[in-house]
Structure 1
Amino acid sequence: MEIVLPLPVAHSRNWPGEPQSLGECRAWVRRVLPEGCPRAADVLQVVGELAANAVMHSTSGAPGGRYAVQVEVGPESVGVTVMDLGPVLVKAVRPLGEGGHGLAIVRELADGYDAVEWPCGRIVTCWLDYPTTTSCTSSDVTSPT
């Protein structure tokens, strides 16, 4: 008898560091998640927050800047990684009472979270586990168009 381990399926893509790319990025993530994924809404929220941070708070948001997103769908969780070009471009200016909660939201939704600085940027990775009664297998994943 052969044992077959379900392997995660990873999808990755680079995006221009422009605010209009954020909606396109979320739509792409929605397409790469398996049909009926139990944490889809949470994954979309996490990707939205991390990508917005890359555009608003790093040099990825400077002219010509880019950020990368990877979504890894496994049998028990979804991993999300966002890589930006690093140091703060400018402090975000927000109207009173608006914003400033993105990473707190990510940490609340994610079952694990890690951020690493590297010479050319920052990599934020988190994963969201599925409820123990469900799973999304790599065979459920469709290729994005």
Structure 2
Amino acid sequence: MNDGQGRGGALWWAELPRRIPPRVPGVRMVSWGSLPEQVASARHWCRNGTRLSYDRAYPLIAILTELHTNALRHSASGQPCGRVRMEMAESQGSFRIAVTDDGARAGAPHSVPEVGDGFGLRLVERLATDWGWSGTPGHPLTVWAVVDPRAPLGSDEAGPAPVPNRAPAPGGRAPEVPAQRSAG
């Protein structure tokens, strides 16, 4: 049984977050634990990484909060010793955030992120210029979103945004940061 002790007797969650050396220059990477309290620290990590004013960084912070919380609620990441990995990159003024979970909980049905009756992914849909997921249901999934902090926020009067096909891009990788959202 896991008693929460890590290397050298320290509590395992005290070792998190842990920065991960980026594979690609300009990409910030970090690993968080399974504690819901770490979502607040992830918001600070995100804001500090953007170097934007709070009002401009808010859509990205809100999306990161939703994706991190979903990983903790709906995957093995929220169980003891679970992890949530995040990546953030900036390209041409837009930011791409990606949150990777630990896969399905033991005995839980395999699901994929989709806009449903809940509020969370509707928020992501409204604030992101694009979003999607990659991975195999039941295994770790990466949910990504692209945010242009210069774009005006969507209006409820405009009606729901069209939902593009959310299937992963060829090779299981999310597309690069687009300069703008494609129509339709």
Q: Give TM-score scaled by structure 1 length.
A: 0.72
CA distance in structure 1 between the partners assigned to 2:105 and 2:128 by the alignment: 24
Unaligned runs of 5+ in 2: 1-24, 110-116, 152-184
Q: How many residues align?
A: 119
Q: Does 1:129 align with 2:148?
A: yes
| TM-superposed deviation, 1:73 | 1.6
Which string of whole-angstrom CA distances, capped at 9 and with x for unpartnered residues, describes residues 66-118 of structure 1? 01111112223010100001125669xxxxxxx93111111111001111233
More moved, 67-76 vs 50-59: 67-76
Unaligned runs of 5+ in 1: 1-7, 92-98, 133-145
Which string of whole-angstrom CA distances, capped at 9 and with x for unpartnered residues, describes residues 9-44 of structure 1? 221100001111111111111111123487300000
Secondary structure of residue in 2 paired with 1:13 = strand
Kept in 1, the 8 Å contact 2:57–2:149? The answer is: no
Kept in 1, the 8 Å contact 2:94–2:148? The answer is: yes
Greater strand content: 1
CA distance in structure 2 between the partners assigned to 1:102 and 1:110 by the alignment: 12
Report the AA paired with residue 146 of structure 2.
Answer: W
Cα–Cα, structure 1 residues 25 and 46, in superposed 2: closer, same or farther, change >3 Å?
Answer: same
Kept in 2, the 8 Å contact 1:39–1:128? The answer is: no
Cα–Cα, structure 1 residues 86 and 103, in superposed 2: closer, same or farther, change >3 Å?
Answer: same
Q: Which residue of 1 aligns with 2:73?
A: 56
Q: Which residue of 1 aligns with 2:122?
A: 104
More relative contact order, 1 or 2 (CA 8 Å, 6+ apart)? 1
Q: Give TM-score scaled by structure 2 length.
A: 0.58
Structural RMSD (CA): 2.6
